[in-house]
Amino acid sequence: MADEHVSVVFKVYCLTVMTVVAATYTVALRYTRISPSELYFSTTAVCLTEVIKLILSLGMLSKETGSPVRLKNALVEHVLCSPKELLKLSVPSIVYAVQNNMAFLALSNLDAAVYQLTYQLKIPCTALCTVLMLKRSLSRLQWFSVFMLCGGVTLVQWKPAEATKVQIEQNPFLGFVAIAIAVICSGFAGVYFEKVLKSSDTSLWVRNIQMYLSGIVVTLIGVFITDGEKVLEKGFFFGYTPWVCFVVFLASVGGLYTSVVVKYTDNIMKGFSAAAAIILSTVASVVMFGLQITVSFASGALLVCVSIYLYGLPKQDTSKLSREDTDKELKRRLITV
C-alpha cells in the first residue's frame, strides 16, 4: 500500500509540474513580449536556451556514466568521432530552432490563452507524422478527436478574444501563421527524434547533446542573420530582465524535465495536463492582460480540452477481443451439440 501511495503521489507531482511549467512559460513569454521595457532579441533567448540545455544534458550524462573517464569516453565516441550522427541530429535542431523562434513571434501577436489552445494543433500534426514516418495506425476515436480538435481551434480563431490591457500593435494573422509553422515543426521534429532514438541503444542524454550542439550553431547563425547588427551594437543580453531570464530558464529546464517525467505518466494524464495548462493560461490572461472571453472562444476551448482527453484514451485491444469472441462462440456451439 505504501509503494502504491508513493506512486500515485509521484504521478500527481509529475502532472502538476508539467502543467505549471507549460502554463507559466506561455504567460511569462507573452508578458515579456508586451511589457513596456526595451524589447530583447528573441533569437538570443532561443540560442541561450540551447546552451543551457547542453550544460544540463552534460550534467545528466555525467551522472549516468558515473565517472569523468566514462563521460569523456562517451563524448569522444558519440560526439567527436561520430560526425554522421551529429549531421543526423542537425535536422531536428534546425526544425526546433524554427519552432522556438515562431513561438516568440506568435506570442508577440496573440494572447497566451489563444496561443495555448491553437498550439494544440501539434497533436494532429504529430499524429500524421507518426502514421507516415513510423507506420503506426490511429484508432477511429483518435481520428475523431483530431477533427474535433481542429474544429475547436477554428472556433477559437473565428473571432479571437481581445485583451483590453494590451496597448501594443498586434497582427493576429501573423501570429496564427507563426503557430501553424511551429506546430508543423513540432510534429515533424518530435517524430524524427523518436525515430532516431529507437534506431539504436544510444543514451537519451547523448542524443540530446548531439542535438543541442547542432542547435547552438544553428541558433547562433540565426542571431547574426536576423539581429546581427543590433546585437553587435547593443549587446547579446540587451533588454534582458528577470522575467526574460525566467522564460529562458523555463524553456531550458521545462523541456528536459518533461522528457524525463513523461515516462512515468500515461496519455490520459498528459491530456489532463494540457487541458489544465489551457485553463491556467486563460485565467492568467484574464487577470494580467484583460482577456475578454467570448462564446466562440469558450466553446472552442471546451472542444479542444475534450478532444485532448479522447485522443489520450488507450486503444482497445481488438485482437484480444476477437479471440475472446471466438472462444465464446466455440463454447456456445459445444453446448448446443
The pLDDT value given to residue 335 = 46
What is the pTM assigned to this prediction? 0.81
The pLDDT value given to residue 200 = 81
CA-based end-to-end distance of the chain: 49
Q: Name the more confident of 261 and 330.
A: 261
The pLDDT value given to residue 180 = 92
- Among 19-28, 164-173, 225-234, name the one with the lowest average pLDDT: 164-173
- Among 43-52, 271-280, 310-319, name the one with the lowest average pLDDT: 310-319
pLDDT at residue 245 tops 80: yes
Q: Name the more confident of 324 and 125.
A: 125
Cα 223 from Cα 28, distance rounded (Å) = 22
Which of 91-95, 121-125, 161-165, 191-195 has the largest mean confidence? 91-95
pLDDT at residue 255 tops 70: no
Which among 212, 225, 202, 285 is positioned nearest to 49, based on CA atoms? 212
The pLDDT value given to residue 310 = 83
The pLDDT value given to residue 291 = 81
The pLDDT value given to residue 274 = 77
Q: Are 252 and 49 in contact (CB under 8 A)?
A: yes
Q: pLDDT band for position 226 (50/70/90)?
A: very high
Question: pLDDT tens digits, residue range 118-158?
Answer: 888 888 888 888 888 888 888 888 888 888 888 888 888 77
Q: Which residue has the cell 507518426?
A: 130
Residue 75 exposed, middle or buried by CB count within 10 Å (0-12, 13-18, 19+) = middle
Q: Are 250 and 48 in contact (CB under 8 A)?
A: no
The pLDDT value given to residue 36 = 78
The three grid cell numbers given for residue 213, joined into one nine-digit string: 550542439
Q: Name the more confident of 322 and 260.
A: 260
What are 291's strand-pairing partners?
163
30 — phi, psi (to 5°)?
Answer: -60, -45
Q: pLDDT band for position 319 (50/70/90)?
A: very low
The pLDDT value given to residue 48 = 95
Q: pLDDT band for position 4 (50/70/90)?
A: very low
Q: Considering the chain, what is the average pLDDT of its residues?
A: 82
Q: Are 95 and 178 in contact (CB under 8 A)?
A: no
Question: pLDDT tens digits, residue range 166-217?
Answer: 667 788 889 999 999 999 998 898 888 888 877 888 888 898 899 999 999 9
Q: pLDDT band for position 317 (50/70/90)?
A: low
The pLDDT value given to residue 307 = 86
